[in-house]
Amino acid sequence: MNDLLKKGFYLGIGAAVSGKEKFEKMINEMVKRGEMSPSQAKSMMSEWVNKGENVDKEWSGQAKAKFQDRMKDLGFVTREEYEVLESRLRRLENFHSQD
């Protein structure tokens, strides 16, 4: 991985960790001040984690679709298309070997 990509990756990780730490600190302060119960804080943290996981899945799906589109644009076939062609080739080979 080149240096620029590593730095970008580490920047993203750092931002995520920093944001999580700030959010946890804010929630803990609200519990200390009595503005929120510990169970409410736990519930809120769980809700935010679930939202993050859903966004991650959505982004992963979008990235996968874009990658597949790019590969198709470059002339690559999907595994399914390859298997169909391979099956047709076998049938043709078997047909010709029977002659």
The residue extents of the domains of the chain are: 1-35, 37-99
Confidence (pTM): 0.47
**How much is the mean pLDDT over the chain?**
87
Residue 99: its pLDDT value, please?
A: 65
Give the pLDDT confidence of 39-86 residue by residue, as tens digits: 998 898 888 888 888 888 888 888 888 888 888 889 888 889 999 999
Q: Which amino acid is at 10?
A: Y
What is the predicted pLDDT for the residue at 18? 83
The H or E element that residue 36 is part of is none
